[in-house]
Structure 1
């Protein structure tokens, strides 16, 4: 009984931290959606332009997605594999909180830099007040999550994951058993990257379509650019969050596959950073803001592609050298 007490306390602390992170995520998402979807509110927002908007846009999509997954997993909290589930869910909550925190940091940067000071209205004051409250909630959630750390290296011993829990919960639905049986789960594990790419492309298509309709875009190149930027950033998010939170525990992969996935991550991150800081970088080089769509596409996607190719080359050369030393 005494040995079970620390585990019991850690379990309670994990649930409390996860709930706090969900509360902070809700507090972040509500004003974010209001600001981005209401033109009057958005016009008064200090962070309506890049580089602030690029980071905010990614967090606006990723935070509710992670929050929904976390809430669904809480329904199977007491199923077998509770220790793995607790650690993975805390990590997912930490990822969600970190994303919200990064977006909040960019919002504070916009406020402190005096961005769009001449256009500020009463809505601006309300947005900043919400920013203060959300920042406090996010910081508190981060502190609680930091106290729920598991021993170093415990992630390598995971035997349960979110995919297994989803298959378990689906047994209570009318879905055919062949769709949720061990063979189907194993197939998803083998093709996890395909699933991440497909889900990212689907979400990116929705975002790009909504952007095209909302802003009445008529340039197909610009719409395609929106889609590629969203898709690459979401693929990077899926791979990173899966590595952190273990959504799908995957079989071992070869060096080429690992290098390709690392390239997707670095390329996606480089692309979103190039989008965010394109005008800042050009100003530092003495050039003006991007004035044409082809220049925008070439600059941002070119940076992402270049970083991805460089990552692939470096990792393949490094792993080849390591293999030669091991066999030499």
Structure 2
């Protein structure tokens, strides 16, 4: 009996000290401010345990005061649950310390919080040890529900009928209690906050209710409130209820792991990640029940079975997470100009040229051209990002678009067929990178159009992975899209693309034209400007140069905007022979050019940060296969847009642009490479 009393005493002291510590570090602002576990997920764990642990202590003391102290087995199970909650919270807080959470706010007082954490951990270990010794002589002695009936009978409150209902329907009763408590707590929070978004309120109610329900089920497993055999439905529901608050607590880290480059920002995203957590928990519960339910006696067989089922769990959780994440609405960076943006999709044929890439000899060169233009004010919803057959731009891996966000939920800012604004606007011809289509440069095109430019985006037929012409899809060919074009292939194709750009410019008429392109499209834009006397300027977005422009140069103003340490600007530290050759070619171009030249590289970017891929949702592992740098995708596109508009305004309208005169405090990521 002595060891039992010692176990009860030490465990109760541990629970009381933990309660004091949890209250001080979460409710006293001056202490919380320097705490490493002041934010989620650590605070989410504390928010449960700091109320549940003292509740268990109160129940323990009440049992002893009401003459039920003879139920030793029940008393030991209650302190066991309290100690488990203490250990869980201490572990979460220790993770925060090891991760250096909120390190910028740490002070000399933070170390004392750490010492307190170590002391609580030591007390929890001692409590577990003493409880283990005490359990050796204890026998099952009833359940908590029977004790509650006894207590209520002393108070002359008949409860036998209610107890019988709870005993028969414990799961349903736990759901009712959890839902009622959640509504009270979340309702009080909503009143304190002056109201909550309806979806956020619903998510908070369900998450808190799920956490309480999971606690009731786990508490019943430890305390034996009502002894219940393990069943598949209860196990699955219990683990699903546990997964929801776990996902809520880890929402920001989970959202990033699901492929996003930012934390959870909307109630819809929060609802999605909570749903993923619940689904993952249900899968865990199902697999656990299977392993337990098969009643495999040999431990090594159970281990092997569990290991074999682990990939099933991981794949199911991954598919659930990606399915939810890709279904979240997203948007391209908003245009910064004054004009509303209109859009038209056109198919044009250049009757003066035979297409050397067409499978049928003698076929005239056909092109798909997307027009973005300044429009009169439009109402309603903007057009779809990839209308009709263009929706096939998704990766065709394991089903179209599984690893990408839905194009239907990607919000652009162009209105199809909107009436054009009055006036005449300067022309910009936009060419994509090798394999890409004009659609992938919607962000740049919309921003230019909002600043008063007519933008013609060309999709190079047989070079783009997908082109839609005349209601049919056209894919790339080996000749039109070589894996690694040499100088001969590159010159042949860059001349073809430059001819496409000049054809579109002539078709749209007008005076001076600015050619802008990405990657191989950047090389084609320089080549087109080199050959076109009407060229008012050219922009190369991270494109290695090809063609006669390399030796002939550009006489018009030129801007080369490269990714981090890109050699296409003529200034880099080459990592291999290919980069060294790119630098040599770029320097030849710069030497031969007579117009003013601006060269920049953007730190944190890679080759595809100049495309809309930077704004797409891309699930892992696809997001690691596409060359995107660590810079926030929208931030990178915002920088590209700012410099493209600054250059275009300067060369077309003669506007003085501070961005072009030197380093910018607004965009410190941009590193000038000289003029």
TM-score by length of 1: 0.78
* 2:242 corresponds to 1:269: yes
Number of the residue aligned with 2:123: 137
Number of the residue aligned with 1:197: 175
Alignment of 1:141-152 (within 5 A): 141-150=127-136
Alignment of 1:1-40 (within 5 A): 9=1, 12-40=2-30
Contact 2:80-2:128 at 8 Å conserved across structures:
yes
Q: Looking at CA atoms only, which structure, 1 or 2, has the larger radius of gyration?
A: 2
Contact 1:87-1:150 at 8 Å conserved across structures:
no
Contact 1:167-1:180 at 8 Å conserved across structures:
yes
Number of the residue aligned with 2:190: 212
Number of the residue aligned with 2:58: 68
Q: In structure 2, what is the Cα distance between the partners aligned to 1:317 and 1:17?
A: 34
* 2:82 corresponds to 1:96: yes
* 2:255 corresponds to 1:282: yes
Alignment of 1:224-303 (within 5 A): 224-250=202-228, 258-288=231-261, 289-303=263-277
1:118–1:16 Cα change, 3 Å:
same
Contact 1:235-1:264 at 8 Å conserved across structures:
no
* 2:104 corresponds to 1:118: yes
Q: Name whichever of 70-79 and 20-29 sits farther off.
A: 70-79
* 2:162 corresponds to 1:172: no
1:226–1:42 Cα change, 3 Å:
farther
Number of the residue aligned with 1:3: none
Q: In structure 1, what is the Cα distance between the partners aligned to 2:142 and 2:264?
A: 48
Report the 3-state secondary structure (helix = DSSP H, G, I; strand = E; otherwise coil) of the residue aligned with 2:135: coil
1:43–1:170 Cα change, 3 Å:
same
Gaps of 5+ in 2: 297-675
Number of the residue aligned with 1:4: none
Contact 1:236-1:265 at 8 Å conserved across structures:
yes
Q: Deviations over 1:59-84 (max 9, x none)?
A: 223212222222222235557xx4xx
Q: CA deviation at 1:35?
A: 2.7
Q: CA deviation at 1:231?
A: 0.8
1:222–1:295 Cα change, 3 Å:
same
Q: In structure 2, what is the Cα distance between the partners aligned to 1:37 and 1:189?
A: 37
Contact 1:76-1:165 at 8 Å conserved across structures:
no
Normalized per residue, the structure richer in strand is 2
Q: In structure 2, what is the Cα distance between the partners aligned to 1:139 and 1:311?
A: 28
Number of the residue aligned with 1:57: 47
Contact 1:95-1:241 at 8 Å conserved across structures:
yes
Q: Deviations over 1:154-175 (max 9, x none)?
A: 97xx461111112222232142
Q: In structure 1, what is the Cα distance between the partners aligned to 2:167 and 2:285?
A: 25
Report the 3-state secondary structure (helix = DSSP H, G, I; strand = E; otherwise coil) of the residue aligned with 1:171: helix
Match of 1:108 among 94, 103, 113: 94
Q: In structure 1, what is the Cα distance between the partners aligned to 2:30 and 2:77?
A: 37
4+ runs deviating over 6 angstroms: 316-320
Q: In structure 2, what is the Cα distance between the partners aligned to 1:122 and 1:261?
A: 48
Q: In structure 2, what is the Cα distance between the partners aligned to 1:170 and 1:129?
A: 43
Q: CA deviation at 1:137?
A: 2.5
Taking only aligned residues, the RMSD between alpha carbons, in angstroms, comes to: 3.1
Equivalenced residue count is 295
Contact 1:54-1:276 at 8 Å conserved across structures:
yes
Contact 2:239-2:284 at 8 Å conserved across structures:
no
1:315–1:111 Cα change, 3 Å:
closer
Contact 2:73-2:141 at 8 Å conserved across structures:
no
Q: In structure 2, what is the Cα distance between the partners aligned to 1:313 and 1:138?
A: 31
Q: In structure 1, what is the Cα distance between the partners aligned to 2:19 and 2:42?
A: 16
Contact 1:46-1:110 at 8 Å conserved across structures:
yes
1:72–1:292 Cα change, 3 Å:
same
Q: In structure 2, what is the Cα distance between the partners aligned to 1:318 and 1:52?
A: 31
Q: In structure 2, what is the Cα distance between the partners aligned to 1:263 and 1:21?
A: 31
Normalized per residue, the structure richer in helix is 1
Report the 3-state secondary structure (helix = DSSP H, G, I; strand = E; otherwise coil) of the residue aligned with 1:297: helix
Q: In structure 2, what is the Cα distance between the partners aligned to 1:249 and 1:231?
A: 22
Q: In structure 2, what is the Cα distance between the partners aligned to 1:220 and 1:51?
A: 23
Report the 3-state secondary structure (helix = DSSP H, G, I; strand = E; otherwise coil) of the residue aligned with 2:62: helix
Contact 1:17-1:145 at 8 Å conserved across structures:
yes
Number of the residue aligned with 1:326: none
Higher relative contact order (CA 8 A, sep 6+): 1
Q: CA deviation at 1:316?
A: 8.8
